[in-house]
Chain A
Amino acid sequence: MFKTASTAITLALTASTAYAATDISWWHGMGGRNGEVINEIAQQFNAAQDQCNLTPVSRGTYEEALSSGIAAFRSGEQPNILQVFDAGAATIIAAKGATVPAEDLITSAGESFDRDAFIAGVRNFYADADGKFIGMPFNSSAPILYYNIEAFEKAGVEPPKTWEEFEEIAPALRDAGYIPMTASQLTWMMVENFKSRNNQQFATNNNGYDGFDGTEILVSDDNQKMMFEKLKAWADEDLYGFYGAGWADNLKPFEEGQAAMWIGSSGSFGGLQQSAEFDFDAVYMPYWDAIEGAGTQSFIGGAALFAMAGKPEEENACTAQFFTFLTSPETQFFYHRSTGYVPITEAAYELAKSEGYYDDQPVAEVGIQQLMLEGGEWSKGYRMGFYPQIRSVMEREFNRIFSDEVSVDEAFSIIEEEGNALLARFAKTAN
């Protein structure tokens, strides 16, 4: 009885101290272990200072988080911080009055901001054409090639650096009884990052960064089509397994030890450690040796945090404080270790190295190293409106390619036609 009473008093006291602090909210689209890590980060932030109290709220998937953020903004109930995924970046960046650019937010709160502290691969993706950070990069990932060590030993081959090497080794893996390769989310792997790894232009208007008017998607060029002609031919020769648009369906054969290679996210590392009962390693995502200038860094995947507009100054100051806390090497290293997402600052990467993290977990370093590769003209990022819908169009056509309903040529001209219609429509809304 006495215990209950004292607990109640303690609770009341904590409640009143929390009341004195400024409350800020953070809507995100992460579930499972990644969602728990977000709660841990919020607790660490709340414990580190006493002026601000951050409450994270899960709003379902990435897409759901974005649409509930939008709906909330329209009714004036927006959170202070909204997590927006890579494909949705154009939507929120185009809505200039909806957010306070992360860089402005931090500098106007009197804190310092250094663009060069971030690793090269994340600097541009959520920034405007001048390089000003609109979103604060948060969970960042790169597509990498995971491989089953035992399968490669059995077949007596080495993991491929280029697609040419893949063509040489894949038959040996097939003959050893494996599906040589599967890949999740072909839109991210074989279109977006085909463009970045092979330094290919993805859209007019400087990949869309120079404005939405007249931006057109470029996917029906010979190189892009060649990638899919090859994938289709590999699928027909049992060198590549296509299992639809679902992420997990394509991962499963690898997890079960049937597939020798899987192209997935560097952020999948934590999950794979638990689900795969064999030894695996990872290398960079392959590129085409035949394409001149190929082998550049990949686009950053994952999501960024945006500070929503229309909030009182003291709340914005708290948001700025949280962004600074989030980019501190300690927080970044904690996040990197707990999830598999890459550290976004050079300092955090150095910290992870000096702590000897990569000696134990070499796979965890592959993603960040790939993002730190030399950048090309077209590997900084892309900005296209209604991009989630363009991805859906691609997914539809890819399914049709692999079920022989449409030729690669035809599929990409449909994607370009429907994609451009969506882009033109978005340009009209953005005016």
Chain B
Amino acid sequence: MTDTPFTIAEAETTLFARLRRWWSGETANPVKRVQFDRPLTPWMFLLPQLAVVAIFFYWPSVQAVTSSFYLEDPFGFGATFVALDNYTDALTSRGYLSTAAFTAFFCVVVTALSLGLGLLLAVKADKVIRGAETYKTLLISVYAIAPPVAGLIGMMFFDMHMGPFTQMAAWFGYDLKVGIDYWDTASALIVISVWKQIPYNFIFFLSGLQSVPVSVREAALIDAKSGWRRFCDITLPLLAPTAFFLLVINITYTMFDTFPIIDVIVKDKPANNPMTLVYKVYLDGFKGNDIGGSSAQSVILMVVVALLTVLQFRFLERRVHYG
């Protein structure tokens, strides 16, 4: 891998490439270094960014880790050190475990569907010649919708009294009860989340496809007649860096950014409806005022995400070929 010339295909994917190099201990290609005449100057430039990271990430993280070991009254009058009690309470509670299971399921389904559909649409849009811009704009425009708004629009379709989807289900004799039936709500949640994420994947896949050189495509045309073979052998490997980047982004999206959609769907009252771990942290911490318990949950979440990221870079990214 080190002997391949390092070309910049996409800004974001190179970041991952560098991270991977750093992880595997390889040294970066010698690039021209900017020289500062005083050793302090580079730190001065770094300072604003470091301050932001420290204030908005490290400081709250340290706070969360500390308070996860304490049982504290909401107003902060007294905290009792309870060691790992908050963790064992969370990990043995029925509610927490079923939420964790749903989050994993939700993550896999939403990521798979939104990546798959995004890729399919991109491949098809790439072939369109007449009116290509219109198609692209239509497909991309959904991305401009803020998640809470997407949730609201989605819920209008799934409303149990007057939603068109509920009525359509009724034609087939199915009583769709979003908000009451666990799996009905889960389906609505998945549909809305996927719909919201497809345009993002579409944009990246499309630009990825368009950067496949014409010469390569033409050469492939001579070798293989079947479009599917060409897609599998040529296009897909060349898209791998984009796909890997999108995989990371999509997992983060389902775990964290679907929060507003869930909030709109469960309308303040989660009842028996499915939710993600992040939403549970919010519910227990901000609505239940259980600071210790909710901190423990968020620390568990941090660890899970860290593990997931390491796994992705360690095992998956090795297979990605940066052109």
Contact = CB atoms under 8 A, between A and B. Distances in A.
- Which 9 A-B residue pairs are closest in the complex by CB-CB distance? A399-B272, A245-B271, A245-B269, A395-B271, A95-B75, A244-B179, A389-B288, A429-B73, A399-B271
B269 A246 contact: yes
Interface stretch (A48-56, A62-70, A297-305): A62-70
| Residue with the greatest number of chain A CB neighbours at <10 A, chosen from B71, B76, B288 | B288
B161 A403 contact: no
Main secondary structure of the interface of B (DSSP, over half): loop
A431 B177 CA distance: 44
B290 A95 contact: no
Contacts, number: 117
A400 B181 CA distance: 8
Contact of B71 (A245, A256, A429): A429
A389 B282 CA distance: 12
Contacts of A61: 268
Contacts of B75: 70, 73-74, 92, 95, 97-98
Given A70-B75, A425-B71, A396 B272 contact: yes
Contacts of B72: 429
Contacts of A243: 160-161, 179-180
A108 interface: no
A252 B161 contact: yes
Interface residues of A, number: 45
A283 B160 CA distance: 28
Interface in B149-180: 160-161, 177, 179-180
A97 B73 CA distance: 12
Nearest to A252: B161
A91 B76 CA distance: 12
B283 interface: yes
A378 interface: no
B180 A403 contact: yes
Contact of B180 (A91, A95, A242, A388): A242
Given A95-B73, A249-B161, A399-B180, A431 B288 contact: no
B48 interface: no
Interface in B235-292: 267-273, 283-284, 286-290
A163 to B, nearest CB: 23
Nearest to A248: B267
A386 interface: yes
Given A246-B267, A252-B161, A396-B272, A431 B180 contact: no
Contacts of B160: 243-244, 249
Contacts of B180: 242-244, 399, 402-403
Interface of A: 61, 63-64, 66-67, 70, 73-74, 91-92, 94-95, 97-98, 242-249, 252-253, 256, 386, 388-389, 392-393, 395-400, 402-403, 405, 418, 425, 428-431
Contacts of A67: 286-287, 289
27 contacts: A61-B268, A70-B289, A91-B74, A92-B75, A95-B75, A243-B161, A244-B179, A244-B269, A245-B179, A245-B267, A245-B270, A246-B179, A246-B269, A249-B160, A256-B161, A386-B288, A389-B284, A389-B287, A389-B290, A392-B288, A395-B271, A395-B272, A396-B271, A397-B272, A403-B181, A425-B290, A429-B74
Contacts of A249: 160-161, 179, 267
B80 interface: yes
B74 A428 contact: no
Contacts of B179: 243-246, 249
Nearest to A187: B269
Given A91-B74, A428-B80, A403 B272 contact: yes
A396 B283 CA distance: 14
A392 B283 contact: yes
A397 B182 CA distance: 12
Interface size, B (range): 35 or more
B78 interface: yes
A74 B182 CA distance: 37
B273 A399 contact: yes
B272 A95 contact: no
B77 interface: yes
Contacts of B267: 245-246, 248-249
Contacts of B289: 66-67, 70, 91, 386, 388
Given A95-B73, A396-B271, A431 B80 contact: yes
B293 to A, nearest CB: 8
A95 B74 contact: yes
A55 to B, nearest CB: 23
A405 B184 CA distance: 14
B276 to A, nearest CB: 16
A244 B271 contact: yes
Contacts of A400: 272
Given A97-B77, A243-B180, A403-B177, A428 B286 contact: no
A247 B71 CA distance: 33
Given A67-B287, A256-B161, 14 more contacts: A70-B75, A91-B74, A95-B74, A95-B75, A242-B180, A244-B177, A245-B269, A246-B179, A248-B267, A253-B161, A389-B287, A399-B180, A402-B180, A425-B89
Nearest to A97: B77
Contacts of A405: 182, 272
B33 to A, nearest CB: 44
Contacts of B80: 428-429, 431
B181 A398 contact: no
A388 B288 contact: yes
A66 B182 CA distance: 29
A403 B270 contact: no
Given A74-B75, A98-B75, A403 B288 contact: no
Contacts of A402: 180
B76 A74 contact: yes
Nearest to B178: A244
A252 B269 CA distance: 17
A66 B175 CA distance: 38
A379 B289 CA distance: 27
B188 to A, nearest CB: 13
A425 B71 CA distance: 8
Contacts of A386: 288-290
Contacts of A388: 287-289
Nearest to B79: A429
Nearest to A308: B75
B89 to A, nearest CB: 8
Contacts of A244: 160, 177, 179-180, 269, 271
| Residue with the greatest number of chain A CB neighbours at <10 A, chosen from B77, B181, B293 | B77
| Residue with the greatest number of chain A CB neighbours at <10 A, chosen from B75, B82, B89, B272 | B75
Nearest to B270: A392
B96 to A, nearest CB: 11
